[in-house]
Amino acid sequence: MNLLIVESPAKAKTIEKYLGKDYRVVASVGHVRDLVPEDGSVDVKNDFAMKWQIMPGKEKQIKIILDELKKADALYLAPDPDREGEAIAWHLLDILNSRGALKNKKVYRVTFNEITKKTVQAAIDNPREIDQNLVDAYLVRRALDYLIGFRLSPVLWRRNLGRSAGRVQSVAVALVVAREREIEAFKPVEYWSLGAECALAKSNFIAQLTRFDGEKIEKLSIENKTSMDTILAAIGEPVIPAEVINVEKKKTSRKPAAPFTTSTLQQEAARKLRFSSKRTMSVAQKLYEQGLITYMRTDATNLSQDAVASIRNFIQEKYGNAFLPGIPNIYVTKSKNAQEAHEAIRPTDAARVGAGEGDEYKLYDLIWKRTVACQMTNAEFDSVVVDIKPNIKTDAIFHAVGTTRTFDGFMKVYIEDKDDAEEEGETKLPPMVVGDKINITKLLPEQHFTQPPPRYTEASLVKKLEELGIGRPSTYATIMSTIVDREYVKIDKQRFFPTPAGWIVAAFLSRYFVDIIAVDFTAKTEDTLDDVAAGEQKRLAALLAFWNPFNKVLESAKDVPTPEVLLEINKDLAAHLFPDDNRICPECSKGTLSLKVSKYGAFLGCSNYPECKYTKNLAATDNAGEKSGDENGAKTNTNNDLGEGIKFMIGRFGPYVTDGKKNASAKKYTAETMTLEIAKELLSGEKKKAEGIELGTNPVTGKPILYYAEGRYGAYISSNKVNVSVKEQPDLTTATDLINNKKPSTKKTWGKKK
């Protein structure tokens, strides 16, 4: 009998079905060992020696593995084919060796990019040893994150500046804050455009003014209404006879997008399905473990020859030869070192059109469509450009563009969404030739203002991090959830907004730890990890290159007095805190306002304290915390009037609803998510009984794990009388980890017999 170890119970069940009675497949349920959570677990004075411990709750899982190993002749370590998977295999091997469990046992490392019978068997037939270079890259990354967390975070805690700082997460927060600075500093510029409603026979279309009085009309050429009125007066009143003076026709085509990488899957799932990165990866993990898709952590865009052949066969049978290119479409991976896996994310069987239910079905459908489309022919278009000259004394030319899709190609299956830009649509024009007579029946002047850069969505922030070379496929989901969980950013209408804590942490780091949030530094660190993984740099050299300069900055920053730190942060955030440059206290009119911090969060305080006790809380929302509101410290916002005399408010203790007589907490809601029905339910005090969603069975206890969307303290999971709070519905592996690793209660049981 052979023992094969994977990470997840679901994957173990699928693989054991493929391998049969000669194999026992057991799950480690993720990582089994981690650094001891105390200062000194990475010994910087002893070549960065690392002190490990078995993770809480994992001793039971190790015992299961040890018991099964006694009956086995060989051990196959088969965690995922990336650095984290290699690290899990390395940890397991070290633990089992230290306990003398591998004596006279053969040990193999196997990896597979998809969970199909053919691929799993091929991996077992071609085992290898653990790749120490991949392990070293993991060790460097883990040590760096630990050193920053345990050395930098206390600098924030002692000054009440933030909860923690991370190597990559801090850069993400800095990007969100930098974008907000751009938005706040943005000054809109007025401009006008002039359209013309044109009529030819029974067809109407719109053309835009592109030339006037010998000058080319560009976006900002018509500056104001006065300029527009001058143009309108010169052109005259419709109906204006006009003539087609130029017609240009050309054929264009559009190529299909590459198959999904981890990053592009998260971006497209955010755009099309409104999934968070964490939700996307959780669902993708389930699809992978069921053998429905290939490994979902990858930055490669290539497909195997077998996969391409299968996809092309499906296209030919389903859509015909017209949709099948003569030779396969090839996509080149842009990443410098696509070490995470060897293929793009694709269905394991192109002929399987649908799979799963709910979220799984939606994500599988997205992956399937993108994969099939990537091997289809280009979409083809006819493009027509027409110039129209009114029959007037003044030189003026109107320009119209028409686009018609003449062949669907890949667009018959899939069209990629775009960030912050409208997808090019089809605009049809009537057939025209030079000399055709046109009537301009109406002039359409329109005022515009330039727009600030858009705030980041999850999709656009992941895309930006990838462009900058920051983070890796396995980290994007964690980055997104971490910056929200730490309350450095908030999400409203799918957009990231920095919180006061985010502003402050970014300002502090940019002043005292500029390298930590410097894009070049963080990207270079990722390159270093790639070099270690490729065997081009040694672990110790990589750690020293980081630690020596970081430690010098750390030591100098630790001794800076807090008042001096706050002074620097006040300078940095002056434009944000006081956009009108007015710092006079609105209550006493004598003191000036400045940023203060306490264990309860950031606030503006008066310099005339204690004579003046005015404060403005920055920790809730922009309309929260000033004394000049209602009795709960809230300002009335008529936009939050829900109807029937009920309003949604923000008070000093957070969101609530009120009917003027009774208030009810609404901490889980925003102005966008609150409805009149929800408010009535909150005010009535009646709560619907929560219905649990079964996530699966806990492999340790054999008991079901249930997810509850609403509890007394928010969402939670429960199994065998153990409850754990969660932010959102987790996958089975995560839920199992949380349940099994929960520390026992320390509450005293007075009067109960032991």
- Which residues form the catalytic set? 295
Query: For tokens 């943005």, what's the residue?
Result: 186
Q: How far apart are CA 487 and CA 459, in angstroms?
A: 19
- Residue type at 220 in one-letter notation: L
29 and 699 in contact (C-beta within 8 Å)? yes
Strands 215-216 and 203-212: antiparallel
Q: How far apart are CA 124 and CA 19, in angstroms?
A: 10
387 and 351 in contact (C-beta within 8 Å)? no
Q: How far apart are CA 213 and CA 552, in angstroms?
A: 65
Q: How far apart are CA 550 and CA 252, in angstroms?
A: 53
Residue from 506, 525, 459 nearest 262 by CA: 459
SS3 219: coil
Three-class SS string for 69-104?
A: HHCCCEEEECCCCCHHHHHHHHHHHHHHHHCCCCCC
Looking at the DSSP assignment, which residues form a beta bridge with residue 104? none
Question: What are phi and psi for residue 267, nearest 5 degrees?
Answer: -65, -50
Q: Check the CA dihedral 507-513-516-519 and report its sign.
A: positive
Looking at the DSSP assignment, which residues form a beta bridge with residue 603? 596, 617
Q: How far apart are CA 470 and CA 263, in angstroms?
A: 12
Query: For tokens 């299909």, what's the residue?
Result: 256
- Residue type at 449 in one-letter notation: F
Q: How far apart are CA 476 and CA 196, in angstroms?
A: 47
459 and 262 in contact (C-beta within 8 Å)? no
Q: Which stretches of 486-598 are DSSP H helices? A: 500-512, 514-517, 519-533, 539-558, 562-572, 574-577
Residue from 680, 688, 690, 671 nearest 729 by CA: 690
Q: Name, in order, each residue with C-beta under 8 angstroms of 750's C-beta and a sequence gap of 6 or more.
A: none
Query: For tokens 């190790």, what's the residue?
Result: 62
Q: 460-474: b or e for each residue (b if 16 or more CB lie within 10 Å)? A: bbbbbbbeebbbbbb
Tell me how crowded residue 579 is: count the other CB atoms within 10 A of its CB.
10
Write the DSSP assignment of 386-410 as a string of letters.
Answer: EEEEESSSS-EEEEEEEEEEEE-GG
What is the token pair recorded at 65?
Answer: 């593995």
What is the token pair recorded at 724?
Answer: 């754990």
Query: For tokens 């842009």, what's the residue?
Result: 334
579 and 184 in contact (C-beta within 8 Å)? yes
Write the DSSP assignment of 417-482 as a string of letters.
Answer: --SSSPPP--B------TT-EEEEEEEEEEEEE--PPPPPPHHHHHHHHHHHT-S-TTTHHHHHHH
